[in-house]
Homo-oligomer: A and B are copies of this chain.
């Protein structure tokens, strides 16, 4: 929305070594803008992680970045959107893990383990906390439904890996739905206790968990 007002796009097919375009500065600014926007989202995730969504004001987030509230609003349209962005940032690596696992040829159990490991790491991050705790009640329906879809997608992905593992015999038979609930629950819960008990790294936790299963 805020970026839709550019009148001319910079010449993308510039010969190397050619004189620098006068629009270079514009591109740099745009890149700056993305960096700053990311910083806002990261700061928000960190604050939400520590104090909770509702106990964090936008003034808090702005202060953490040493700017003022309207500056935050320059990069983000609302607090709700901010939460949503944090959620998205948390989910993205998990999506990636699934995509990666789909490409592998190893038995289902190993593919599942790989996903779970990445999952655990994602959940242990600042974003992970937002991901796990982003509640539909806190968001307008449009964003809420997107979150539900994403969560459902992950759930189905786990069930699918479980089924594949059962078919190739690498995973003990059982009800995929229940097993997925157990797995997701155990992993998501990491977000709750990891802040207080950081005696292990996220990777170590993931390995320990996989060992338990």
Contact = CB atoms under 8 A, between A and B. Distances in A.
Interface of A: 50-55, 135, 137-138, 174-175, 178-179, 181-190, 192-193, 208-209, 211-213
Given A54-B54, A188-B189, A189-B188, A182 B137 contact: no
A181 B193 CA distance: 9
B52 A208 contact: no
Given A178-B208, A209-B178, A212-B182, A137 B52 contact: yes
B185 A51 contact: no
Closest 9 CB pairs of A and B: A185-B189, A54-B54, A185-B186, A52-B137, A182-B186, A186-B186, A178-B208, A55-B137, A182-B212
Contacts of A187: 185
Nearest to A155: B193
A179 B51 CA distance: 28
A55 B138 contact: yes
A161 to B, nearest CB: 16
Contacts of A188: 185, 189, 192
A52 B208 CA distance: 33
Contact of A179 (B181, B184, B212): B212
Among A174, A179, A192, the one with the most B-chain Cβ atoms within 10 Å of its Cβ is: A192
A178 B187 CA distance: 11
A190 B179 CA distance: 12
Contacts of A192: 185, 188
A50 B184 CA distance: 22
Contacts of A52: 135, 137-138
A190 B185 contact: yes
